[in-house]
Amino acid sequence: MNKNINLSKVVLEDYLNLVKFVEQETERMQNLHTKHITCKKGCSSCCLSFRIFSVEKDIIYKTLLENDIALPLHNENTETTCKYLVNGDCSIYQYRPIMCRTHGFPLLYLNEDEDAYEFSGCELNFSTIDMSEVVIENCIMMDDINKKLFTINETYLADNKIVPNEDELLCNW
């Protein structure tokens, strides 16, 4: 993370409030879908390399540095595995990105035409789910979360006078 980066109180609070909301949602899902959710320490099937908004990456890096938690020695994920996965466990679990917090739970995304929702759920948890059980009320609405994260990132980029092109909106985690 660039030391000169401007991370405003508003951006940080908005991000932390979003994390709080996601945590509440995942707790609600855990209670609603107890019979399906088999996630447990040691399962790392979803810990793959992915891309996130720079605001989230920078906030997490800043938090890790403030808490004296070493950043990975190598800066890149392997092709398939997240660099924070150490001996099968997440080494930064408390500070992990929002996407990691939603893994394993039933998620809904609007399709490309924005006229229907698509279900996404870990196959280890939801291989047997009756799709008639899948309704808006018992899934996490990912578009709302991603839109909020997008807006927080926009503010962050504007605060830092960064004008990324579309390809640079997301960065490697």
Binding residues (CB under 6 A) for ligand SF4: these are 47, 82, 84-85, 90, 92, 96-97, 100
CB neighbour list of residue 118: distance below 8 Å, 6 or more residues apart: 108, 109, 110, 111
Smaller CB distance to ligand SF4: residue 97 or 121? 97
Strand locations in 49-167 (E): 51-53, 85-86, 89-90, 107-110, 117-120, 140-141
Nearest approach in angstroms of CB 54 to ligand SF4 is 16
Strand locations in 51-115 (E): 51-53, 85-86, 89-90, 107-110
Nearest approach in angstroms of CB 146 to ligand SF4 is 16
Nearest approach in angstroms of CB 47 to ligand SF4 is 3
Smaller CB distance to ligand SF4: residue 117 or 173? 173
Smaller CB distance to ligand SF4: residue 101 or 148? 101
Smaller CB distance to ligand SF4: residue 32 or 85? 85
Query: Whole-angstrom Cα distance, residue 107 to residue 121?
Result: 6
Smaller CB distance to ligand SF4: residue 51 or 147? 51
Nearest approach in angstroms of CB 46 to ligand SF4 is 7
CB neighbour list of residue 108: distance below 8 Å, 6 or more residues apart: 117, 118, 119, 120, 134, 136, 139, 140, 141, 142, 143
Nearest approach in angstroms of CB 110 to ligand SF4 is 24
